[in-house]
């Protein structure tokens, strides 16, 4: 009796071990590898099962904390839903989530592995231990505070969301040359100066809420900048020297709104925000008169208030007040710069801004 023909196991292995491939092409190869049609159904079934296993193993997933093991160790599989290995090889295919599945607690990391994203869906979590060798996006939600104490090495351009009434405390951030978009109305509180590469154009773009940095200068490298990207964005630096902070405008602190930047002292911090133009203020005309004076005609002025016409070399800074109108007699007035080309660097061009004078 002749032995039963067997599929070409080498070709079957080549098809399945090469990674997740198209199902139709994989099955076609297996069909051709089977010399006896009587065994095609068996081989196809085995191939489909193997293909499904490969798909499951190769796809990214979110690992959710349930605290069912020792309740504190990141490396304990029993602390995660489904009891997976939470410390995979150095891949970026793992997202980790902490939510209402378990009571917020302190979680300790044993090794500096790479992850993709971390989701802190509720407040009260503290992550301790070894650094995140590489990390991506962060979400921090819920009324209260979440804390990430290990060094976070940012490996890609990504979004960090800090929700309303939430504070995300980051003990140490090394940003390399990647950009972070900070969204959400909460506060990102970085407790030391940010590290990163010394070349390139990169930084944190504040779309919403507050970024607080416990340093007078945001970055330790010569590159890196904080971008004020919306009228509601605010940056807080640990100093009360407004002049020192204003000297960073245009280089380390960038105005992406175009209204100019302003500073105020908020406790131990200088806060930087976009200048808010008066709601009804409109520029009706801006032109040189025959004498060479530059005149700006505005409407929507409040007769009870005082307004300044300010001049600067770009859209980030307006260091000079060139005209002031106190209590305009009507809602329309003309501001005048009597010497628009007198002082370098304004010989080639100048930018103007009309602001309401604060009391």
Choose one of 224, 253, 274: the last residue of a domain.
274
The per-residue pLDDT for range 56-66, each reduced to its tens digit, is 333 357 999 99
Q: Which domain holds residue 326?
A: 282-356
**Domain co-membership, 66 together with 30:** no
pLDDT at 51 over 60: no
Q: What is d(CA 29, CA 135) in angstroms, rounded to the nearest whole number?
A: 39
Minimal CA–CA distance to 351: which of 339, 340, 335?
A: 340
The CATH number given to whatever domain includes residue 345 is 2.40.30
Report how far Cα 213 is from the mean position of its chain's Cα atoms: 14
Which residues have C-beta within 8 Å of that of residue 52, sequence separation ≥ 6?
none
Final residue in a domain of this structure, among 258, 274, 290:
274
Q: Say if residue 264 is in the same domain as residue 322.
A: no
Q: What is the pLDDT of residue 333?
A: 95
**Pair (345, 315) in one structural domain:** yes
Query: How long, in residues, is the chain?
Result: 359
What is the 8-class DSSP label of residue 220?
Answer: S
Higher-confidence residue: 318 or 37?
Answer: 318
287 with 210, same domain: the answer is: no
Residue 111: burial class (beta carbons within 10 Å; 0-12, 13-18, 19+): exposed
**Helix%, strand%, coil% for the chain, nearest 5:** 15, 35, 50
**Rounded CA gap, 116 and 120, in Å?**
14
pLDDT in tens, 62-98: 999 999 999 999 999 999 999 988 876 555 568 999 9
Tell me what pLDDT residue 35 has: 44
Domain stop point among 223, 255, 274: 274
Query: Which secondary structure element, helix H or strand E, spans residue 297, and what is its range?
Result: strand 294-299
267 with 332, same domain: the answer is no
Taking the model in full, what pTM does it have? 0.68
Answer for the pair 337, 354: CB distance below 8 angstroms, yes or no.
no
Question: CA-CA distance, 341 to 231, in Å (whole number)?
Answer: 31
Q: Looking at residue 272, what is its pLDDT? A: 98
Please indicate, yes or no, if residue 193 is contained in any of the structural domains.
yes
**Radius of gyration of the chain from its Cα atoms, rounded to whole angstroms:** 30
Contact 66, 102 (CB under 8 A): yes
As a whole number of angstroms, the distance between CA 138 and CA 147 comes to: 12
* pLDDT tens-digit series, residues 269-294: 999 999 887 678 889 999 999 998 99
Span 236-263, average pLDDT: 94
**1 Cβ contact partners less than 8 Å away, ≥ 6 residues apart:** none
Same domain, 198 and 326: no
With respect to residue 90, please indicate whether it lies within any of the assigned structural domains. Answer: yes
Same domain, 128 and 71: yes
Q: Is the Cβ–Cβ distance between 206 and 233 less than 8 Å?
A: yes
Same domain, 163 and 299: no
Q: In this predicted model, what pLDDT tens digit does every residue of 202-224 receive, in sequence order?
A: 999 999 999 999 999 999 988 89
Report helix, strand or coil for 155: coil
Total domain count, the chain: 3
Q: 203 and 248 in one domain?
A: yes
Q: How many angstroms separate the CA atoms of 66 and 118, rounded? A: 15
Residue pLDDT, tens place only, 290-342: 998 999 999 999 888 899 999 988 777 788 899 999 999 989 999 999 988 65
C-alpha to C-alpha distances, 284 to 297, 307, 331, 357, nearest whole angstrom: 5, 16, 12, 20
For residue 32, being part of any structural domain is answered with: yes
Query: Same structural domain for residues 27 and 73?
Result: no
Average pLDDT over residues 339-349: 63
Classify 328 as helix, strand or coil.
coil
> Does 301 lie in the same domain as 181?
no
Percent of the chain with pLDDT strictly greater than 90: 57
């Amino acid at each position: 009796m002749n032995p039963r023909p067997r599929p070409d196991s080498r070709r079957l292995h080549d098809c399945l071990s090469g990674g997740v491939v198209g199902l139709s092409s994989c099955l076609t190869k297996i069909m051709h590898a089977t010399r006896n049609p009587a065994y095609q159904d068996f081989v196809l079934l085995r191939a489909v099962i193997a293909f499904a296993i490969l798909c499951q193993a190769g796809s990214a997933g979110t690992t959710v904390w349930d605290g069912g093991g020792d309740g504190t160790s990141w490396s304990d599989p029993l602390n995660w839903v489904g009891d997976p290995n939470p410390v995979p090889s150095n891949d970026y295919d793992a997202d980790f989530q902490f939510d209402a599945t378990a009571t917020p607690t302190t979680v300790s990391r044993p090794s500096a592995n790479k992850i993709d994203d971390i989701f802190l869906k509720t407040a009260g979590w503290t992550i301790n231990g070894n650094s995140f060798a590489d990390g991506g996006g962060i979400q921090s939600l819920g009324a209260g505070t979440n804390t990430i104490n290990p060094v976070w090495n940012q490996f890609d351009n990504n979004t960090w969301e800090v929700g309303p009434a939430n504070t995300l405390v980051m003990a140490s951030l090394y940003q390399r040359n990647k950009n972070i978009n900070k969204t959400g109305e909460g506060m990102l509180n970085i407790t030391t100066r940010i590290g990163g590469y010394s070349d390139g154009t990169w930084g944190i773009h504040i779309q919403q809420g507050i970024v607080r940095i416990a340093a007078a200068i945001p970055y330790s490298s010569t590159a890196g900048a904080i971008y004020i990207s919306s009228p509601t964005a605010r940056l807080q630096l640990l100093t009360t020297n407004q002049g020192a902070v204003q000297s960073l405008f245009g280089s380390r602190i960038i105005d992406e709104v175009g209204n100019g930047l302003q500073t105020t002292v908020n406790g131990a911090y200088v806060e930087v925000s976009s200048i808010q133009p008066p709601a009804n203020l409109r520029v009706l005309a801006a032109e040189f008169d025959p004498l060479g004076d530059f005149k700006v005609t505005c409407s929507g002025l409040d007769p009870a208030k005082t307004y300044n016409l300010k001049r600067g070399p770009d859209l980030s800074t307006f260091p000079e007040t060139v005209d002031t109108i106190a209590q305009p007699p009507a809602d329309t007035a003309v501001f005048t710069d009597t010497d628009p080309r007198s002082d370098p660097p304004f010989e080639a061009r100048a930018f103007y801004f009309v602001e309401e004078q604060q009391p």
